Structure 1
């Protein structure tokens, strides 16, 4: 029956891997992307000392770059807003607790629910869209975007490429992973996407069938992977 390929870093997919292992779903891990700093990263420590009403953290990767800048800045007091529990846990692992965590792990959900308009620093990826800042601005927030990192495809070795070719299901955690897979391999297996945006990107690249959970979270994503692998997937 082949296997599922998990496409994020092992630490990021650890929870998904545990659920699949318990369910008897075979998997291999081939991280498809990596993160690298961009010039804005050098400004982060200085900007964190400027006394923002909120510092918005919209992904686990952004949280890791934020923590580096926070340490360089001398651990100033920050009022953090995090997208979902996964991002909040990255912050908590370094001793920072988010003052606000959106229930749904989407930037839009955080932007729509963030309380008390004020000045927001948003350290993010060069690939992030503008919707998050636009929603906040429409609600009366003053948003400063600071691109601190980029996401790029990893260079895969021959064994990793062979694993992509043999996959029965691709567990895709971001549109960046979809693009990286498409660049690395012509294989287009069934795709279990983490959410709608990633799922639509996978469909555009020719993966079929493509499924994603109705509600965000690793538990729902694991169910989609399981059902696709055993031939029971449904279109949300």
Structure 2
């Protein structure tokens, strides 16, 4: 990424509403300067050595004044850095992006602006309110709820009140009394439908419907706070019909997932599609074992000595094939070796590598795979696995005449850096469900939290995958443990919905 300042819109909040170009900018940034309304999950996209600077603003309380923000952008650019200024919504829709771009221009600094989805449109969409509709509105007007100097004369209330289009006020919740008064006094029908959309597109989005004349009382009664979009117009009538987001089955539910951060994405995506707020608790720190590369080189050089290649996790596939790639191994040499896979996730990982398993076990335990292998002719098995993998597969096959070579290709360690955060989440957040996809994810969180905090897990429903994982959990916790019907992420989600 070149030495430049990128003023980037992050969208209204939903993780899926950020643009591809914005993601690319975040991933390559040397310095990331971000606002309060930016989804914090976007920070996970940054490089490990990226400098992060928070300049959040809450209503009129500016943690970092605008002039100082401009100075930060200029100074970091002058340090030779690629700087990303990450802003909620769109930078040029009441986001002060224009002011920042001007400051950069005045200093002769090269910059780019990356548009974002504005909450004025995207946020209302998630509330079931189209800003235009042939039966109700042929125009829309986006208005700031407060001006640079809070000079209300900057808004032509007489003209605005006579408009038949949709009126959208951003940053106006603290000034709602004045807005309502001006609209009605200048001719707006008091019974005009209005809506307040708080935290639009987020898991805690709340849409409140009212009328213009009752709007101020509604704000006080419902304790509506910023950030909230205030929308006025007939299109609000469609909210009950079109509000798809707040009708999702898991909307409003907080679900903690406990895989490694790299493998959380699949389950996270499926849960968020159903409306859940997903809290990542990456209890596992998974890394390749570099010392195994030399040993594996010896094994793959003699791959034709093996009859079976057994995988009991998606990670064993990933790290084994990473080593094959490191040595420029030709996958066609595996033609005479039967590939063996446990569960849907492991099979999917093999398919992603361009190969299909010959032997599979639908049950998520090593013995089941060993049983399937033993139905075939006795032979030699290469078993890539983690350093903490059990010995059940080796023992079963060994007892049935097979020779098994175990080779550890990745480590699976407790992520101790997450301890305080995990205890805080489970102590202070309303977690409805927590998921465990392996025995190690559960064992690691118990070790991470300490035995004195295990009761925190009992406050929520625990969803497990596979018999062995369930058995491990129940050795510590008896209540509220539920196993998914099948060994898949889809089945875990289905079990959660079933328990609502």
- Any stretches of 5+ residues in structure 1 without a counterpart? 231-236
TM-score by length of 1: 0.84
> Structure 1: how far apart are the matches of 2:300 and 2:271?
39
> Structure 1: how far apart are the matches of 2:472 and 2:362?
24
* Aligned-CA RMSD value: 2.4
Residues 16-35 of structure 1 mapped to structure 2, 5 A cutoff:
16-35=267-286
1:110 aligns with 2:332: no
Provide Cα deviations, 1:110-153, integer angstroms capped at 9, x if missing partner. Answer: 21112332111111122122111122223332111122222111
Secondary structure in 1 aligned to 2:355?
coil
> Structure 1: how far apart are the matches of 2:282 and 2:478?
18
Secondary structure in 2 aligned to 1:8?
coil
Q: Does the 8 A contact of 2:362 with 2:487 survive in 1?
A: no
From 477, 490, 493, give the equivalent of 1:219.
490
Matched length: 229
Q: 2:348 — aligned with what? A: 89
TM-score by length of 2: 0.42
Q: 2:390 — aligned with what? A: 129
Q: Does the C-alpha gap of structure 1 residues 212 and 160 become closer, same or farther in structure 2, counting only changes over 3 Å?
A: same
From 244, 247, 256, give the equivalent of 1:5.
256
Q: Which has the larger radius of gyration?
A: 2
1:55 aligns with 2:326: no
Q: Does the C-alpha gap of structure 1 residues 2 and 135 become closer, same or farther in structure 2, counting only changes over 3 Å?
A: same
Q: Does the 8 A contact of 1:84 with 1:103 survive in 2?
A: yes
Structure with the greater relative contact order (CA < 8 A, sep ≥ 6): 1 or 2?
Answer: 1
From 385, 394, 413, give the equivalent of 1:152.
413
- Any stretches of 5+ residues in structure 2 without a counterpart? 1-251
Residues 185-196 of structure 1 mapped to structure 2, 5 A cutoff:
185=449, 186=453, 187-188=456-457, 189-196=460-467
Structure 1 residue 216 displacement after superposition: 2.2
1:183 aligns with 2:447: yes
Secondary structure in 2 aligned to 1:177?
helix
Structure 1 residue 64 displacement after superposition: 1.2
Q: 2:357 — aligned with what? A: 98
